[in-house]
Structure 1
């Protein structure tokens, strides 16, 4: 009997951090291992397509040394479930494993929210399906959080993979100051969100939110982590380890919502400028919600940062213009 093809997924109008009503009632397709109260760490993988990459991601987690942990995979491609052979390969590789099949597409932000909301352990981290971690990543970062009550997150080294054979260590701006005001202002001014893929105290992440951008960027997810991280960073500092590595894959195809990048170049640049302003306005909104006394200094630093970005753009534009007018 012929099998009718799966209907195409409806296009997301916009990415949204919030979950649809009843989304958390979804039961796992597969569940095994220890109960949450016997574990301290959960790794959430919001998966979409690329099952080959998911296999490699799970393989890197299966090599972890040290404490046991739970893995939650949420597959956000209705009609294309995780292959049973992949589930069988990792069914007993972790202290606990849950795999969910979403009945309707949640989008990148909704799926990231889902795995966080399903977690119940004290510590939580996200891992993209095209990324990998070194063998002591979970143990090293969890040990840092165990030892420092002032830390809400821990991050290791950031390795960029530009090809299957070309890697380099990317420097990070460290947000490990014990005083909240300079720590948050430094984040707004210097804009480094690499620690998003570190490990966090779960209750600190639950304070984070992303309200979405205004037109013409309603479908964008770029830079959303910056806005989301304001609330956790207000709650505590980030500590760092030089003993473990997060490998960020930058050479395979990424799956993001279609961005309104078509059209005249001036329109694309205008949309990007509006988005940058929107990021800083959302900083102020999130600061008002979690640390009202930081709104005024935060807004001042945002204005300075926007002015710096504008000057840098104009300078680079002038250089390009001069080069284009210079005879070869």
Structure 2
């Protein structure tokens, strides 16, 4: 049995996965703020699998954690997880004594990429390569080929959000202008919308449907940014498929219709772009999919080989 956790800015999703990669338990709890609270709520989420989901924690042999921020290569440290109030934390050192099993951590988008690839591997014609494009507060991707995560020379493979596609475009938080994230990131859209709302991107779409000019412009920019990210991922990595996930994809067909139109418009002007069949190579992650937590479980299981068999998880 493996446990995987997707640590988000507001909630932690934890899953228990058996040897056939079947999710046998799943819980969600609020995420704490700051290093100590993040650590504590991760432990609470694991224990909740036993108390709320009926998982036998004595069978668990590894824990994997997908978390925002930068993961220092070869370590258990996460840095700059600003949405969690964590500047620097050795998460593995904090968790292993409390859980009693091997723990590994990974960037949340990269973990989700592994999980999405595992879900697609059960399809009738599984892809050899895949990019997972996360559309959330920011924009980033993870690239998987033959089941292996591609990190690049310095771990930045897939950071497509900060590719500038318009030097005269809106200012991005990275300091450049016209980045994909400045057009399509949920945080950037909410900032430009500048109206208090629990779901600002959805409100932008609704206002655009009602004919509001500023909303129409923001909605068009979102489609332009997502289409640009898909083109970049296919043109640079030539992946079989680009899977879109993250909070913005809750818009479903409303989003994909706009993105498909943007991809079609660029293909009309270029026989080469038409040959890439980009519309056919982009799809949404199914709603409610536990891809990120599943991927984290796979990350944890990969680390289990580095350890001898240890005691089961602490109960209570």
Tell me if TM exceeds 0.5: no
Structure 2 length-normalised TM: 0.33
Q: Flag the structure with larger Rg.
A: 1
